[in-house]
């Protein structure tokens, strides 16, 4: 009897802990996203929908990584299209010129981009605020000019064809196959990111965001943490870049351009900084919206620019955090 009485509260507290863990926002968000990925095919009636969903997922992978850097560590990057393009062109070149198996090429290109980010990141991340923005922007522009100029390797401004992705001898093609691949990769990216955020590293990053000096005083090596998250975000961008190249079968320097970097940052800020789910929502909205705006033809740019301004003026914290606050306030 005695042992049972002692045991019961223990078991229930363990159960409570389990429930609490399952009800944690990150678990709820992950499960919700997994459900969306699983159920979306029920409403997608043709390949056009699948195509857009794949592009959303691939962009979202970049944004989840970039959000770690911008939203959590508070370090801006206006050059992530450079990492995206290096991943894409690296995979394409290794697979087509050197005949490497595409998956190996993707892995090698990703590792290469991680190394580039490590080397570039060390000096660049010493800069702060607008100076960091300029330095990353400069990096992106350098990558983009090199890709456009070295036409013997990259096909120059015309772009280059990319062989299809093969896995264990099977050629991965068709929108439906790619949908599950891209969706799976997105879930993996979100899972990695949310674990990172809840780890000591994530807490250190938030401390760095609030005040670098205070974080250092508390014993956090801020340079090392910033570099780590910079490399992680570059690796996410490289994987998405490589997958985008294989999926599209063709790659152009537009993917390396300043405008693409801006597009990626806009997705993160639009969805809501420091919110992984926000990054996914931002990627979805800004990938889908231009598809609708094409009907506006010559008014497309005006409307897109105006929407960008209006949303950021009225929802400066981004869509998901603003909605979250609204819902919380309505709850008694």
Partner 1 sequence: MGGQWVQFLAGGLTSGAIYALVALGFSIIFNASRVINFAQGEFVMIGGMSMVSLTALGLPTGVAIAGAVAIAAVVGLLLEKFAIARARGADVVTLIIITIGASIFLRGIAQLVWDKGLHALPPLSGDNPIALFGATIVPQSLWVLGVTVVIVSALSWFFGSTRLGKAMLATSHNRLAAQLVGIDIGIVLFASFGLAAALGAVAGVLIAPITFTSYDVGVMLGLKGFAAAILGGLGSFPGAIAGGLALGLLESFGAGFVSSAYKDVIAFLIMLAVLFFRPDGLLGALRTERV
Site residues, partner 1 (CB under 8 A): 70, 76, 123-124, 126-131, 133-135, 137-139, 141-142, 145-146, 149, 211-214, 258-259, 262, 265-266, 269-270, 273, 298-309, 312-313, 316-317
Rounded to a whole number of angstroms, the minimum distance from the CB of residue 205 to partner 1 is: 16
Rounded Cα–Cα distance for residues 212 and 311 (Å): 30
Q: Distance between CA 47 and CA 45 in Å, rounded?
A: 7
Q: How far is the CB of 135 from partner 1 (least distance, A)?
A: 6
Smallest gap, in angstroms, from Cβ of residue 128 to partner 1?
7
* Contacts for 222 with CB less than 8 Å, ≥ 6 apart: 204, 208, 212, 215, 216
Q: Which is nearer to partner 1, 162 or 256 (CB)?
A: 256
Q: How far is the CB of 323 from partner 1 (least distance, A)?
A: 16
Q: How far is the CB of 99 from partner 1 (least distance, A)?
A: 29
226/247 with CB nearer partner 1: 226
Q: Nearer to partner 1 by C-beta: 62 or 162? A: 62
- Supply the minimum distance, in Å, between the C-beta of residue 304 and partner 1: 6
Pick the closer one to partner 1 by CB: 9 or 129.
129
The two three-digit tokens of residue 65, written as one number: 């990584």
Phi/psi-derived region of residue 215, left when phi > 0, alpha when psi is between -120 and 50, beta in every other case = alpha
Nearer to partner 1, 60 or 182 (CB): 60
Looking at 24-150, list the stretches that DSSP marks H as alpha helix, in order from N- to C-terminal side: 25-43, 47-67, 80-96, 102-124, 129-149
- CB count in 10 Å sphere of residue 187: 17
Alpha carbons within 13 A on the beta-carbon side of 323? 11
List the one residue out of 99, 64, 58 whose CA is nearest residue 239: 58
Whole-number Cα distances in Å, 115 to 16, 234, 307 = 43, 10, 37
Nearer Cβ to partner 1, position 180 or 304? 304
């Amino acid at each position: 009897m005695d042992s049972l009485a002692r045991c019961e509260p223990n078991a229930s507290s363990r159960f409570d802990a389990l429930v609490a863990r399952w009800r944690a926002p990150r678990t709820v968000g992950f499960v919700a996203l997994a459900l969306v990925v699983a159920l979306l095919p029920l409403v997608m009636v043709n390949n056009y929908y699948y195509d857009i969903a794949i592009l959303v997922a691939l962009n979202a992978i970049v944004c989840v990584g970039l959000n770690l850097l911008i939203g959590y560590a508070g370090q801006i990057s206006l050059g992530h299209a450079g990492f995206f393009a290096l991943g894409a062109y690296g995979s394409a070149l290794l697979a087509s010129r050197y005949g490497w198996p595409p998956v190996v090429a993707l892995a090698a290109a990703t590792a290469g981009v991680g190394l580039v980010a490590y080397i570039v990141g060390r000096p660049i991340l010493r800069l702060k605020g607008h100076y960091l923005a300029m330095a990353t922007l400069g990096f992106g522009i350098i990558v983009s000019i090199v890709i456009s100029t070295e036409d013997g390797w990259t096909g120059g401004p015309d772009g280059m064809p990319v062989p299809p992705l093969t896995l264990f001898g099977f050629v991965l093609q068709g929108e439906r196959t790619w949908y599950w691949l891209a969706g799976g990769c997105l879930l993996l990216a979100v899972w990695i990111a949310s674990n990172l955020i809840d780890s000591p590293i994530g807490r250190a990053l938030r401390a760095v965001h609030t005040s670098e000096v205070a974080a250092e005083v508390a014993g956090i090596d801020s340079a090392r943490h910033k570099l780590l998250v910079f490399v992680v975000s570059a690796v996410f961008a490289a994987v998405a870049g490589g997958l985008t190249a294989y999926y599209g079968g063709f790659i152009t320097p537009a993917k390396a351009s300043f405008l693409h970097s801006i597009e990626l940052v806009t997705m993160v800020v639009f969805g809501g900084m420091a919110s992984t789910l926000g990054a996914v929502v931002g990627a979805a909205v800004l990938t889908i919206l231009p598809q609708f705006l094409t009907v506006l033809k010559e008014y497309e740019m005006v409307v897109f620019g105006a929407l960008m301004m209006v949303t950021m003026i009225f929802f400066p914290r981004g869509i998901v955090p603003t909605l979250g606050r609204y819902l919380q306030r309505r709850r008694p």
